[in-house]
Amino acid sequence: MNHRMLSGITPSGSLTLGNYLGALKRFADAGHDTDGTFFVADLHALTIAHEPARLRRLTRETALLFLASGIDPDRSTAFVQSHVPEHVALAYLLECTAYVGELGRMVQFKEKGGRPRTRASLFTYPCLMAADILLYETDAVPVGGDQDQHVELARDLAVRFNRTYGETFVVPALSRPAIAARVADLADPTSKMDKSALEGASGVVRMLDSPDVVRRKVMRAVTDSDSEVSYDPHTKPGVSNLLEILASCGGVGSPAVLASRYDSYGALKQDVADAVIGALAPVQARYAALEAEPGHVDEVLAAGARRARERAAPVLDRARAAIGLSEPAS
Ligand code: TYM
């Protein structure tokens, strides 16, 4: 049987190099025996203050970047989450499975919640994410390190639901990248590179940044106080981040091996800039081609949503029946 992989990206900002290395590139690299489901998680973008027109624009941009990154719509299912209403329906059943205590422990809620006007959906959002995963009988969820806790919760909810109501869901596994699980902000290597950062943030490389902008951001990256190039994420987070980026953008060797080839930060940064520009160039070229073919993108997303609904509906029906909901008489 094919290996079922699923992942989503929230359109809350222009996608970054972190999204590419931690997620998109891995979707595209998945082998031919993988059955991939990839979606733009637009409903997740509603959990914090948002602007409708910007959300619509970013949803489109993110969908185009999925395809431009090499997700093949003939082999995979690519769609926009809100086009498949089964996600919200199952999310409610999982809100009725999750406990307030475990949702309150989610790091993302602890960081962003607790402010005035925090939306209720920020608290319940991990149940929606669990629904996203469980609807497609997913085996593996390729995400960056920042999503571990949410995937763990999806596993816990699947196990609890199965134990309480009978076997209903496949219990998914987390799939972490070997390197670049957490690409750091170039200007502040102790924080993750975050697409929700301010538009012009100097430490955030966007997938659609021009080569000049990429080079400028990389050359200005914060390194460490001494000048020795070595790989140690704890004591030398800035240089180690650059080495990880280089290794995952086609550099030959592990970050530690790559470190031994440099005796100055300047040379390392030049090579990182070249590698990132080289990795993004084909994606940007395909993006431009797709932008010129909006009808084609619409068709791909509509076909993806149809296929997703065909898959999701029987799983939702199974969960509804297991939990005790009745069907209307036909
Ligand atoms: P999101 O949109 O924040 O991030 C999308 C993907 O990119 C990865 N990522 C990173 N990887 C490495 N370094 C970084 N600096 C970096 N920043 C982001 C994330 O780990 C993620 O894989 N809730 C999710 C979207 C989602 C989802 C799902 C994912 C919704 N439903 C179901 C998997 C399965 C999110 O907001 O990711």
Whether residue 249 is found in the same domain as residue 310? no
What is the Cα–Cα distance from 156 to 106, expressed in whole angstroms?
13
- On whether residue 328 sits in a domain, the answer given is no
CATH number at residue 190: 1.10.240.10
Q: Looking at residue 197, what DSSP letter applies?
A: S
Does any domain span residue 329?
Answer: no
Residue 85 in any domain: the answer is yes
Taking only the tens place, the pLDDT of each residue in 107-160 is 989 988 888 999 999 999 999 999 999 999 999 998 888 899 999 999 999 999
Active site residue 110: no
57 in the same domain as 193: no
Kindly state whether residues 29 and 88 are assigned to the same domain.
Answer: yes
Q: Is the CB of 41 under 6 A from ligand 1?
A: yes
Q: Is residue 23 included in any domain, yes or no?
A: yes
Same-domain pairing of 130 and 81: yes
Q: Is the shortest distance between the CB of 176 and ligand 1 below 6 Å?
A: no
Q: Residues 91, 232: one domain?
A: no
**Which residue do the tokens 């949702």 mark?**
103
Q: Are 166 and 190 found together in one domain?
A: no
The phi and psi torsions of 158 (rounded to 5 degrees) equal: -65, -45
Whether residue 222 lies inside any domain: the answer is yes
- For residue 305 the two structure tokens come to 């949503």
Mutational test site, ligand 1, from 65, 107, 147, 152, max ligand atoms within 8 Å of CB: 147
Handedness of CA 197, 199, 203, 204 (dihedral sign): positive
With respect to residue 268, please indicate whether it lies within any of the assigned structural domains. yes
Query: 151 in a domain, yes or no?
Result: yes
Based on the structure, what is the number of domains in the chain?
2
Mean pLDDT of the chain, nearest integer: 95
- List pLDDT tens digits, range 167-224: 999 999 988 877 778 999 999 999 999 999 999 999 999 999 999 999 999 999 999 8
CATH code at 92?
A: 3.40.50.620
Q: Which residue, by CA, sits nearest to atom 37 of ligand 1? A: 9
Pocket probe for ligand 1: among 143, 157, 183, the residue whose CB has the most ligand atoms within 8 Å is 143
Alpha carbons 98 and 114: distance in angstroms, whole number: 20
* Contact present, 65 and 24 (Cβ < 8 Å): yes
Quick: pLDDT tens for 42-79: 999 999 999 999 999 999 999 999 999 999 999 999 99
Residue 330 counted as domain residue: no
Give the integer Cα–Cα distance in Å for 299 and 294. Answer: 9
- 158-181 pLDDT tens trace: 999 999 999 999 999 988 877 778
Residues 65 and 93 in one domain: yes
Residue 38 CA to ligand 1 centre (angstroms): 12
210 and 135 in one domain? no
pTM for the full model?
A: 0.96
Q: Domain check: are 57 and 168 in the same one? A: yes
3-state secondary structure of 41: coil
Q: Is pLDDT of 1 > 70?
A: no
- 3-class state of residue 54 by DSSP: helix
Query: Mean pLDDT across the stretch 71-97?
Result: 96
**Residue whose entry in the numeric block shows the structure tokens 């390392």:** 268
Residues 89, 225 within the same domain:
no
Q: How far is it, in rounded angstroms, from Cα 311 to Cα 117?
A: 36
Question: Given this model, what pLDDT does residue 251 score?
Answer: 77
Strand 173-175 relative to strand 140-142: parallel, antiparallel, unpaired? parallel
Task: State whether 122 and 191 are in the same domain.
Answer: no
State whether 119 and 40 are in the same domain.
yes
Mean pLDDT of 78-100: 98
Q: What domain range includes position 264?
A: 184-289
